[in-house]
Amino acid sequence: MLGYLNKLIGKWKKKRYEAIDPEDIFIDSKNLPHFDIYQFEGRLEKSISPKVFPILGFVCLVIAGVFLFKFGSLQIANGEFYKNRSENNKLKQILLVAPRGAVYSREGQKLIWNDKTDADADFPLRKYYEESGFSNLLGFVKYPAKDKSGFYYEEEFSPKDGVELYLNEILTGRNGSKLVETAVDGSIVSQSVVRPAKDGEDVVLSIDSRVQAKLFDIIKNLAGSSGFQGGAGVIMDVESGELLALISFPEYNSEIMTEGKDVEKIESYYKDSRNPFLNRIISGLYTPGSIVKPFLAFAALEENIITPEKEIMSTGQLVVPNPYNPDKPTIFKDWKVHGAVDMRRAIAVSSDIYFYQIGGGFGDQKGLGIANIKKYLEAFGFTKKTGFDSQKEETGVIPDPEWKEKTFEGDVWRVGNTYHTAIGQYGTQITPIQAVVATSALANGGKLLTPSILFTSTSTVASGKKVSGEEKNFQIAREGMRMSITEGAASGLNTSAIKVAGKTGTAELGAYKQFVNSWIIGFWPYENPKYAFTVVMEKGPVTNLIGGTFVMRTLLDWMAVNTPEYLE
Amino acid identity of 203?
V
Residue 390 domain-assigned (yes or no): yes
When pLDDT is cut at 50, 70 and 90, the band that residue 56 belongs to is: confident
Indicate whether 299 and 407 sit together in one domain.
Answer: yes
pLDDT grade for 177, boundaries at 50, 70 and 90 = confident
* % of the chain exceeding 70 in pLDDT: 83
Whether 534 has a pLDDT exceeding 90, the answer reads yes
pLDDT in tens, 295-342: 999 999 999 999 999 999 999 999 988 877 888 888 999 989 999 999
Report if residue 220 sits inside a domain: yes
The tens digit of pLDDT for each residue in 403-461 reads 999 999 889 999 999 999 999 999 999 999 999 999 999 999 999 999 999 997 665 55
| Residue 432 and residue 353 share a domain | yes
- Do both 72 and 200 map to the same domain? no
Q: Is cis: bond before 250, omega within 30 of 0? A: yes
Q: Mind listing the pLDDT tens digit for each residue in 64-110?
A: 777 777 666 656 666 666 565 555 556 677 788 899 999 999 999 99
Position 15 in a domain: no
pLDDT band at 54 (very low <50, low <70, confident <90, very high): confident
| Residues with Cβ within 8 Å of residue 432, at least 6 apart in sequence | 232, 233, 234, 280, 281, 282, 284, 286, 534, 535, 536
Residue 500 and residue 400 share a domain: yes
Q: Give the rounded distance of the alpha carbon of 414 from its chain centre.
A: 42
- Give the pLDDT score at 540: 93
pLDDT for res 147: 84
* CATH value at residue 186: 3.90.1310.10
In this structure, of 160-164, 290-294, 409-413, 461-465, the range with the lowest mean pLDDT score is 461-465
Q: Are residues 320 and 418 in the same domain?
A: yes
CB 239 within 8 A of CB 452: no
Can you give the pLDDT at residue 6? 56
Task: Examine the pLDDT at 186 and tell me if it is beyond 80.
Answer: no
530 falls within a domain? yes
Report the distance separating Cα 381 and Cα 433, nearest Å.
Answer: 10
Total number of domains constituting the chain: 3
pLDDT reported for residue 89: 59
Confidence of residue 8 (pLDDT cuts 50, 70, 90): low
Whether 281 contacts 248, CB under 8 Å: yes
pLDDT value for 71: 61
- Summarised one tens digit per residue, pLDDT across range 341-398 is 999 999 999 999 999 999 999 999 999 999 999 999 999 999 999 999 888 999 999 9
Residues 144 and 253 in one domain: no
Q: Does residue 20 surpass a pLDDT of 90?
A: no
Task: Determine, yes or no, domain membership for 2.
Answer: no
- % the chain with pLDDT above 90: 67
Residues 181 and 254 in one domain: no
**How far is 19 from 2, CA to CA, in rounded Å?**
28
173 lies in the same domain as 303: no
As a whole number of angstroms, the longest Cα–Cα distance in the chain is 174
Instruction: Confirm whether 13 is domain-assigned.
Output: no
- Decide which of 158, 173, 204 is a domain's last residue: 204
pLDDT for the residue 29: 47
Range of the domain at 46: 36-82
List, in sequence order, every residue forming a beta bridge with 509; answer none if it has no partner: 515
Taking CA atoms, 63 is separated from 59, 68, 69, 75, in Å, by: 6, 9, 10, 18
Q: Which residue has the higher pLDDT, 58 or 479?
A: 479
As a whole number, the mean pLDDT across the chain is 87
User: 110 lies in a domain?
Assistant: yes
